[in-house]
Chain A
Amino acid sequence: MPRNPIQVDTLPADAELEEDEDGTGEGDEIMEEVDDQEDGYTSSTPTSTVTWISWFCSLPGHEFFCEVTEDFIEDDFNLTGLNTIVPFWKEAMEMVLDVEPDEDATKIPDVSIVESSAEMLYGLVHQRYILTRAGLQAMIDKYENNTFGTCPRVYCRSMNVVPCGRSDTPGLDTVKLFCPNCNDIYVPPSSRFQGVDGAFFGTTFAHLFFQSYRELAPAPFYKPMSSGSSSASPKSSNGSSVPAFVNPNPHGGQKRAEGSVYVPKIYGFKVSERAKSGPRMKWLRLRPESPEELDMVDWRGRWINGDYDGEGDDDEEDEDRQMEDFGPVFFSVLNYDSHFSDTLVFLGCYR
């Protein structure tokens, strides 16, 4: 049987080995919790009380899966179409639901074939289950326990991420992590997730999740909280140091975004966009300061009033314009970093 406790115990060791081979040794999330649980189950009564599903979800690399309830799997309606995708359908169903196989059933040459079928079956059912109310609830519990990890992008400030597939068809790509703040997807930091199919989470889940729990979704606009900006904003009426955040769009994200964007600097000076190596990708992470600015762009992605003149990132444009007479400029003289007392020394020894 696949859920033999001996086999279970050996698996985490394999995972560690794998990580060491990887050379980077990033054991960011540690498996101990899962192991403890496993011990708790197995020590009380041997094998029989651990269902296939909870065994499967406790395997290293399967931390992102939630446990699909058996009645969801037993309802044929929820499985529509899957029997054409999963080989050894009947045997896989029996394995997932812990049904003793019929003795007179056709013999399967190798139990590992059924195991992989069962994994695919469970994964595809899981993709559907996590879109249901119960599934979303199971996943938010994992989300709030930080099971899925945090965004690697520095300015997302360790925002929690959710698993996400790039395809709903199995066998195409492994699981990725979606960050609701930068709306981008990342490779999981640990190599043990490289064997997990992204289709088992699907393309929809991550976004339905943040539509369902809007209080966890960062809003699409961001105003830095400083320098008297609060007087201009309508949301600061309650007088506390951190005013309550409100997104006027009730269907949008209701969380204050982490809106800082990285600004490359050389010797404390911003790199000008006129340099060949100057910034080209700031737009990818930029947010407007107010929700109204979003409406200045029409559905085709054009500025509605011709040349838009908002505050956004236009300071750079204006500053550059003043310097036009100086011919080719590599750095625009902005934001001199006063910490940098050794600037002249540096320039002296360069080259």
Chain B
Amino acid sequence: MLHRAVEEISTGSDSDYSSSWISWFLSSKGNEYFCEVDEDFILDRFNLTGLNNEIVNYPQALDLITDNLDDDIQDDFRASLDVQARLLYGLIHARWIVTTRGLAKMLEKYKRIEFGRCPRVLCQQQPLLPVGLTDVPYEKSVKLYCGRCEDIYSPKSSRHGSIDGAYFGTTFPHLLFLVYPTLIPPKTGPPTEGAASSREGVDSSGRRRRGVREEVQEVVASDGGEGVSTASVALKADRYRPRIYGFQVSEIAKLQRWQEAVRDRQVARLEALESRNEV
């Protein structure tokens, strides 16, 4: 809101008016996780069903994000409208990123590693995806999901830590891996061929993707795509083993043995299921 106001004053001239509210929103600091929602998605009222109950001054907020708002409104009203417009855009965004086109847009951002990397050492810098803990706004801030350890982490930076998780929703990362199973990260090994090159962003992400494919196919060297099995991938996952002077710590080792027994039981269950389906 403040940024908006400042920008209004500083730009003044008509030249910057050409840029839309959405592109302004996307380029402002802290909004790096958002992708651009196609205008025809927003203009299709079907996609906005129910949102008019969530947002005060819904028609004006919608006009604002689609750049149809009259310029002659009060400044203080405009400020409050801006808050509502952000909320509206966020909630539309949560719906958009679970559509085919929205998933594809977020996938591009994922490949450019715009959501950061997993802080877990043994995930070897696995890129992350944003996820909410609830689909209701104003409850929980956005978290980051790692497809390798399948756990969620808080964003490192506080400006991302304050984004509402509902703007990404609980579904998005899981739907992404459901729709693109070849992108499910391997449980072991670096995300790219060389750990050193993994910092280079865009051009390494192409290689990353291929690396992922090869790895997944390596698990079951059979038919590609649909037939790849993930039943036993957990056995490949690295884990940290606490040691004191080289000896494992008794109680932690016991817990880890139990956890691995739970893992082995799941693997056995999934493999049995798979062999039954093949028959």
Contacts and interface: CB of A to CB of B under 8 A. Distances in A.
A interface residue count range (under 10 / 10 to 19 / 20 to 34 / 35 or more):
35 or more
B240 interface: yes
Contacts, number: 205
Nearest to B254: A294
Interface of A: 24-26, 28, 152-155, 166, 176, 178, 183-187, 189, 203-204, 206-208, 211, 220, 249, 251-253, 262, 264-268, 271, 273-288, 293-294, 296-297, 299, 301-303, 308, 312-313, 317, 328, 330, 337, 339-342, 345-346, 348-351
B240 A183 contact: yes
Contact of B243 (A184, A203, A275, A277): A203
Of B46, B233, B242, B250, the most chain A CB neighbours within 10 A belong to B242
Contacts of A317: 269
B249 A264 contact: no
Contacts of B262: 282-283, 286, 312-313
A204 B243 contact: yes
Nearest to A268: B170
Nearest to B140: A154
B52 to A, nearest CB: 12
Given A26-B157, A220-B254, A346-B95, A281 B122 contact: no
B58 to A, nearest CB: 15
A318 to B, nearest CB: 11
17 contacts: A154-B154, A178-B242, A204-B244, A207-B244, A249-B251, A252-B251, A262-B152, A264-B145, A273-B266, A276-B230, A280-B230, A287-B255, A297-B257, A330-B178, A337-B135, A342-B50, A342-B135
Nearest to A300: B257
Interface string B258-279: 1111111110011001000100
Interface string B114-136: 00100111100000000001111
Given A262-B151, A264-B174, A297-B258, 18 more contacts: A184-B122, A185-B240, A220-B254, A220-B258, A265-B171, A268-B135, A280-B234, A282-B266, A283-B259, A284-B237, A284-B263, A287-B255, A293-B258, A301-B257, A301-B261, A308-B265, A339-B135, A342-B50
A293 B262 CA distance: 11
A282 B250 CA distance: 22
Contacts of B149: 281, 284
A26 B151 CA distance: 21
B150 A349 contact: no
B151 A281 contact: yes
Nearest to B146: A281
Contact of A303 (B47, B245, B265): B265
B122 A211 contact: no
Contact of A282 (B150, B184, B252, B273): B150
Contacts of B151: 153-155, 262, 281, 284-285
B228 interface: yes
B237 A281 contact: yes
A183 B95 contact: no
Pairs of residues from A and B, 10 with the lowest C-beta to C-beta distance, nearest first: A220-B255, A283-B263, A277-B177, A281-B150, A26-B156, A252-B251, A283-B262, A207-B242, A280-B234, A152-B119
